[in-house]
Structure 1
C-alpha cells in the first residue's frame, strides 16, 4: 500500500486540476493505492496556503501527517524541498501543464513520471 499526495485546486479529488504551487495549493488530494489499484481518495484543505511565509514547510507537514510518502509536484520552494527531504517524502516531477489529478495519476502508474530529487524541483533552479 502507498499513499500519494498531489496538490490540487478548490475541492480536490480525481477530477480536479493539479495546482502548480505546492505551498499555495487549495487542497491536497491523497490517493491510496494497493497493487496499483485506487482504494481511497481523500481531500484535505491546505491550511498553509494563506500563511504569509513558510507555507511550503507547513504544507510538507500536512503531506506527512496524512501518511503520504510520495508527492507528485511540478515545482517547490527551497524550504519546502528541505522539509520534504527531512520527512523522507519522495518527490516525482509533474508536467508543467494543466492536467487533471486522475490523468497525472495515470501517468505515474504507467511509469511516465520519474522520481526526482526535491532539490531539482526548486523554482528557478534550472534558470541559473
Structure 2
C-alpha cells in the first residue's frame, strides 16, 4: 500500500472543511492529507513558517522535512516552484477549489494540472 502525503495551503484551523489558502507562502497553515489506495487515510495540520521576502525556501524545506510529496497550490512565485522541484515535491494547481476537501477530491480524480511557470506570480517570492 503506497501512501502519498499531500499538503494544501489552508485557512485556520486547517482540515478538510477549511478554505484553500490563496498563496502557499502566506497561508495560515497547511492541511496534510495522507492518501493510501486512493482514499484519505490521515489528516493533520502543520503551522506555516514565517515568510519573509527572499525566504522562499523556508516553507519549501519545512514541507519537505514533514514528508510532503505533493502540494496543491493556488499561487506561488517562480523561486519556490523551482525549490519544490529540487526537493522532489510535485506541485499541482488547485486554486479553484473552494475547500481542502474539494482540492483533494480533484487531485484524486486526476483533474488537477501540474503547476507550470506560466502560472507563477511576479516577484519570485510573493
TM-score by length of 1: 0.85
In the alignment, is the contact (CA less than 8 A) between 2:15 and 2:100 conserved in 1?
yes
CA RMSD, Structure 1 to Structure 2 (Å)? 1.8
Number of positions where the alignment pairs a residue of Structure 1 with one of Structure 2: 121
Aligned partner of 1:5 in structure 2 is: 7
Equivalent residue of 1:23, what SS? helix
Aligned partner of 1:123 in structure 2 is: 121
Equivalent residue of 1:61, what SS? helix
Distance apart, 1:24 and its partner CA: 0.8
In the alignment, is the contact (CA less than 8 A) between 1:93 and 1:114 conserved in 2?
yes
Q: 1:85 to 1:113 in 2, by over 3 A?
A: same
Segments of 5+ residues of structure 2 without an aligned counterpart are none
In the alignment, is the contact (CA less than 8 A) between 2:73 and 2:93 conserved in 1?
yes
Distance apart, 1:20 and its partner CA: 0.8
Runs of 4 or more off by more than 3 Å in structure 1? none
Q: Within 2, Cα distance between the matches of 1:61 and 1:120? A: 23
Q: Within 2, Cα distance between the matches of 1:14 and 1:65? A: 22
Deviations 1:2-36 (A, max 9, x none): 00110001111111000011111110111000011
Q: Within 2, Cα distance between the matches of 1:93 and 1:64? A: 18
Q: Alignment partner for residue 24 of structure 2, among 22, 25, 28?
A: 22
Deviations 1:44-63 (A, max 9, x none): 11022xx3323432111121
Q: Within 1, Cα distance between the matches of 2:79 and 2:114? A: 19
